[in-house]
Structure 1
Amino acid sequence: MEARIEILTQKKLIGKHVTMSFAENKTFQLWSSFMPNRKEIKNSMNTNLYSLEVFPVGYFDYFDAKNTFEKWAAIEVSDFNEIPSDMDILVIPDGLYAVFVHVGPAIEGDKTYRYIFTEWLPSSEYRVDDRPHFAVMTEKYKKDDPDSQEEIWIPVKK
């Protein structure tokens, strides 16, 4: 699996978030809450969905599956002029990202993440940076389909 290195320009997102851990995964509940209401967001840039993790500084220094982080379900917007009452805003700052394409059912995403963090990252010239991690789900994303595709964006620095 090849990584593509990109400089991301700032993105504005509106969505919902929960505090969770890898041990107590609340992703399904989050998306179940977000998807029925996403049409309330009037200024979306496109139909892409963003699944984000905002980890505390140093989260990966001493990894523990019980440590908590913010998990987001969101879409990109042009501005924050209209924010639905039950949603929040998040800004992804400019920065360097390693981008990977996960092909296959969403349930097999852990294999891609394992490769990124145990093989690619240790042998690369990069290390994880303290900015949001995210996956972009375009029209090629089909959840349980073996041909499903999503982009995984990992913030990196040299």
Structure 2
Amino acid sequence: MRNPRIKILKEKKLAGKYLKMSLVNNRTAELWRSVLPMIDQIENTINKDKIALQIYPDIYFNNYDPKLEFVKWAAVEVTDFKDIPTKLDTFVLEGGLYAIFDYKGSSADSRIFEYIYSSWLPKSDYKLDKRPHFEVLGEKYKNNDPDSQEEIWIPIQPK
């Protein structure tokens, strides 16, 4: 596994939907099925990328528990919140420092996250920051395909 790029992210405006879920009760497919038909109705998207965003409770990474719930968003980036379909919600993603991992492989394979949290992060000069984690699903993203490509954004701060 290669080292990530470190980048300061500027604030982003997102439009989409969210659900509360856990790894045991994973509702990601249900979430995306509810959002995808509405994305084409959004006229002010920045690009065609989709954003999968997770908001974890403060204790989430203290003791791994696959039953612990978090909030997951399925969204796209927009220029502003004007003319967003009424069935969609909006979210302002706060800017800050991120480690960006370019990942190629199936989204069902969790080894990249094991590497990030168990190997790279403890050995790095950074610790997790309490901001959302997200993945950018661009044109090379193919759900559960070994040739799929995405960016994994992990919020960090200096140790």
Q: Same fold (TM over 0.5)?
A: yes
Over residues 73-114 of structure 1, what are the superposed CA-to-partner deviations in whole Å (9 max), with x where a residue is unaligned? 000000011221111111111100000011012222x11111
Letter in 1 for 2:42: I
* Corresponding residue number in structure 2 for 1:128: 128
Q: Please, what is the CA RMSD of the aligned residues?
A: 1.1
CA deviation after TM superposition for structure 1 residue 152, in Å = 0.1
Whether the 8 Å contact between 1:58 and 1:130 is mirrored in structure 2 is no
1:6 aligns with 2:14: no
Unaligned residue ranges in structure 1 (runs of 5+): none
Give the Cα–Cα distance (whole angstroms) in 2 for the partners of residues 36 and 117 of structure 1: 34
- The sequence identity of aligned pairs, in percent, is 46
Give the Cα–Cα distance (whole angstroms) in 2 for the partners of residues 134 and 73 of structure 1: 10
Give the Cα–Cα distance (whole angstroms) in 2 for the partners of residues 58 and 20 of structure 1: 15
* Corresponding residue number in structure 1 for 2:147: 147
- Is 29-38 or 140-149 further displaced after alignment? 140-149
Q: For 2:26, what is the secondary structure of its paired residue?
A: coil
Q: TM-score, normalised by structure 2?
A: 0.94
Give the Cα–Cα distance (whole angstroms) in 1 for the partners of residues 37 and 81 of structure 2: 20
* Corresponding residue number in structure 2 for 1:51: 52
Q: How does 1:14-53 map to 2 (within 5 A)?
A: 14-53=15-54
Q: Give the number of equivalent residue pairs.
A: 157
Unaligned residue ranges in structure 2 (runs of 5+): none
* Corresponding residue number in structure 2 for 1:87: 88
CA deviation after TM superposition for structure 1 residue 146, in Å = 2.4
Q: TM-score, normalised by structure 1?
A: 0.95
